[in-house]
Amino acid sequence: MRDSTPGLCFCHILLENPPDAVAWVSGSPDYPKLSGLVRFYFTPYDGTLVEAEFFGLPDSQPGSSDFYAMHIHETGDCTPPFSQTGDHYNPASAPHPAHAGDMVPLLGNEGYAWTSFYDRRFLIPDILGRSVIIHRMPDDFTSQPSGNAGEKIGCGIIH
């Protein structure tokens, strides 16, 4: 008999449960092919399991693999050009990259990206109504206040 681990629990959650919150992400007018879904799941570990899948990410060159920043922003206003989304979600007033809204980078392969990760810095009730933003560049995890991630190319409100 196998011992249960958080990873096995997370696999079960992803395979067997509907998400507890979602954000449908659409691209800006300059990136109309970008679309994706970010799913948020409750876990028994006082944290949130996040799964994200994106299509139509812009390649720097055909056939390339590129990194993109993904953040939760304060405000759920996805009116293009996404300038009303506010700063990164940061209830603890922590320096970047320790904001609760700083998420793992996306690795796009020929415009497609999929990722899943566990995060204890936020719970689902805390992020409802906020936005998920995809940035054109990777987060450098250094620059203040938001990692020099560049243009906001995609946005979705967390419901």
CATH 3.40.50.720 fits 6-157, yes or no: no
Tens digits of per-residue pLDDT, 41-75? 999 999 999 999 999 999 877 778 999 999 999 99
Domain ranges for the chain, please list them. 6-157
The residue written with tokens 């679309």 in the block is 35
pTM, entire model: 0.94
Cα separation, 53 vs 47, whole angstroms: 20
Average pLDDT over every residue of 33-46 = 96
* Amino acid identity, position 43: T
Does the pLDDT value for residue 32 go beyond 80? yes
- The residues facing 102 across adjacent strands are 71
pLDDT per position as a tens digit, 94-153: 988 889 999 999 999 999 999 999 999 999 999 999 999 999 999 998 888 778 999 999
Residue 15, number of CB atoms within 10 A of its CB: 7
What span, in angstroms and rounded, lies between the C-alpha atoms of 49 and 118? 4
